[in-house]
Amino acid sequence: MNKFSYIRATSVNDAVQRAMADQQALFIAGGTNLVDRMKVFLDQPSQLIDISRLQMRRIQDTTAGGLRIGALVSNTAVADHPTVRQNYPVLSRAILSGASQQIRNVASVGGNLLQRTRCPYYYDTAFPCNKRQPGSGCPAVTGMNRMHAIFGASDQCVAVHPSDMCVALAALDAVVEVEGTNGRRQIPFTEFHRLPGDTPQRDTTLEPGELITAVVLPPVPFAQSGVYLKLRDRASYSFALVSVAAMVNIAADSIIEARLALGGVAHKPWRPQEAETFLRGKPANAETFQEAADMALQAAQPLVDNGFKVELAKRAIRRSLILSAKGGNVA
């Protein structure tokens, strides 16, 4: 690690002002990804602004009938919260499918959103990497790319976002609350993470100095049907090859509304909205779900090593929708 200074922020405003004054500074809360990156010199901040003592640890009901989850609530506390388990089981299941109990106990909600890709070339400084050093190249495009993107990639970067929690939040149409020098703003979850384009070094649409303060869940009356299906190389402590968050609202065997989000396939949680639109008004049966799955993967652009993800994702979508139509699944 390089030398850095450490300061404990006294308020959200104090943290934001300090980050604006020193744009080489980084916020730290649980540190479960940041410290790993600092150890191998991926991040070399001039100072760490410790936000872990700020008042952002509450989960509150909203007047709209949803939930507001403070940015410092641990992943474990979200997954175990009775209202999350009852009304948003897809979120609880997604969180419990990721990392380990020890990491979930320390990792914060805000930090989960800001974790960076696990592309092996990004972590190995013997290789060039456009995300680490813009303009240096992307060895994954022609190298080992089994874990990489099949949607939304560019010739600059083909990495995927590693979070499970974010896939569920995308399906739930969550909103990210952030605070900056221009005050508070709300970012729809599907606009929070970005595709790599020509600037793969930027993972999110956060402006300099902005701090995540909360994630807001709107009421989703059919979210109790939520399913999270994660397919990976080993049964635990492994990132998704493909994951699916699915919810369906069915009346008289007809689909009123469906939500789908995919993980492990793009630089951000991927919402196949054409498949969601197709499902509306269709009979809730396996044939419909297969058609939706085929539609969701129609625009996939697999790389040399990850063509298997296309069929894997189709099967995962079909199965998730079938389970959701039956009322939800086990973790």
Q: What is the DSSP string of 274-318?
A: HHHHHHTTSB-SHHHHHHHHHHHTTT----SS-THHHHHHHHHHH
Q: CB of 170: closest distance to ligand SF4 in angstroms?
A: 20
| 138 part of the interface to ligand SF4, by CB under 6 A | yes
Nearer to ligand SF4, 153 or 293 (CB): 153
Q: CB of 166: closest distance to ligand SF4 in angstroms?
A: 17
Q: CB of 218: closest distance to ligand SF4 in angstroms?
A: 32
Q: CB of 161: closest distance to ligand SF4 in angstroms?
A: 11
Q: CB of 241: closest distance to ligand SF4 in angstroms?
A: 16
Nearer to ligand SF4, 140 or 317 (CB): 140
| 240 part of the interface to ligand SF4, by CB under 6 A | no
77 membership: H or E segment, kind and range:
helix 75-80
* 257 neighbors 249 (Cβ within 8 angstroms): yes
214 membership: H or E segment, kind and range:
strand 211-217
| 139 part of the interface to ligand SF4, by CB under 6 A | yes
Q: CB of 127: closest distance to ligand SF4 in angstroms?
A: 7
- Which position among 27, 88, 121, 239 is part of the footprint of ligand SF4 (CB under 6 A)? 121
In 3-state terms the chain splits into helix, strand, coil percentages (rounded to 5) of 30, 20, 50
Q: Is the backbone of residue 102 left (phi > 0), alpha (psi -120 to 50) or beta?
A: alpha
CA dihedral over 123, 125, 129, 133, signed as positive or negative? positive
- Which position among 18, 81, 131, 318 is part of the footprint of ligand SF4 (CB under 6 A)? 131
| 270 part of the interface to ligand SF4, by CB under 6 A | no
Nearer to ligand SF4, 121 or 192 (CB): 121
* Rg of the chain taking only CA atoms, in angstroms: 20
Residue 164: CB partners within 8 Å, gap ≥ 6?
94, 95, 97, 98, 228, 230, 240, 243, 263
The count of residues interacting with ligand SF4 (CB under 6 A) is: 14
Residues at the site binding ligand SF4, with contacts judged by CB under 6 A = 117, 119, 121-122, 129-131, 138-140, 157-159, 200
